[in-house]
Structure 1
Amino acid sequence: DPVSAFGGVLICNRELDGETAKEINKLFFEVLIAPSYSKEAISTLTEKKNRIILQRQDVNLPKKQFKTLLNGVVEQEKDHTIEGPELMIPVTARKPSPQELKDLHFANKIVKHTKSNTIVLAKNGQLLASGVGQTSRVDALTQAIAKAKSFGFELGGAVMASDAFFPFPDCVEIAADAGIEMILQPGGSIKDQLSIDMANQKSVGMVITGVRHFKH
């Protein structure tokens, strides 16, 4: 998202090298975080004035989280669960390919950390778009599709991850018509079979994890 990214925060999970730094400088990022930086990267990144460059340290993540309310605080365990491919149960005639399993795993990681209702679209290890914080799951999906198309991404062969189940088959139908070929959802709706039937009707694959993230 070249519009929202301008002036934003960029976080790396590995050393930031010189070539990456040159690409970063093509679009202004105000804050950079990485476990380490090469000398060439530091030289390039410090060309921009008032940029904040931080080194990420290993930390022990908290096991609890708190939400403030009008008259108190709610305490709950943090969601540290992420389902690997071995926990993705195919429920349709079409089964996921090895690459689709990788993409589903990647998309599900993003879903876990995104405000519900959320839909994430991914392909070949790349985020295409996400629809977030919507009161309707259909709205989240249509938002994600519109954003992906506005960025020029081709949705054919993409996968979709949802943070919660589909109470109706409409999301599956919309996704299939947009070119999405594999869907991940936690399942658990009394109407799961309607979505599974729609996926089979559209020749789309679906896996169920049994874990609902649903971040609020």
Structure 2
Amino acid sequence: MLDPFDGSAGHGGLVGHGEDRPGAASQAAFLSGGGPTGKFQRKGEQSVEKMSELRQSYALLLGCLIEAKSSGTLITTKWQYNRISSPTYVRPENGDTSAKMECPRCKQIFTVRVESLKKATVKSRTYTVVGAVLAVSLLVWLPMLVHFGGQTVDEDAASSAILTVGSLVVLTAVSLFVGLPLYLSGRKYSGIKKLRLVKSDGSVSMLTRGHKLP
């Protein structure tokens, strides 16, 4: 059993909805970087808020790895999600902007890219609609694949039959493995992306050390 961080929350996660404010050092780091110093609200591991509703103001949801178990080649992990809010968390009118946050458990500083409400909404709806169309088309391609795949054809028509079945296999796979994930991605799309760790020298790293966005 591995404990990736020596945080005060322990292995069992947090209970209730108490609020924690960052310490003086963390506030100084935020102020020097121009980021918000708003309040931080922790929630228990099983109380992960669904942030699928897009608004002009927003909150950040940060996952922190609190436990990892290794059994042979299988590794299981346990994550604690923290909801971080601030009055300064407002989407830009156009394009993207960056926002800073601190992990309430291990006190590391991170940045994310936040899309404008219009951009995030368009992406969410596009992914949802395209994914839904592809997923529903599975009801067309799969019966056709079963129908043509079970037919016996003459040797002269074998090439055409193979081409038809092959095309249906590809279309079925796209509907299943692209359509459904795209639909689910669109449903929960928040326009908050590119989590980066802020190092002590002010540079950023893609290696987020046991943290992730939902």
Q: Which bracket does the TM-score occupy, shorter chain normalised?
A: under 0.3
Name the structure with the higher helix share.
2
Query: Which of 1 and 2 has higher RCO (CA within 8 Å, sep 6+)?
Result: 2
TM-score by length of 2: 0.21
Bigger CA radius of gyration: 2
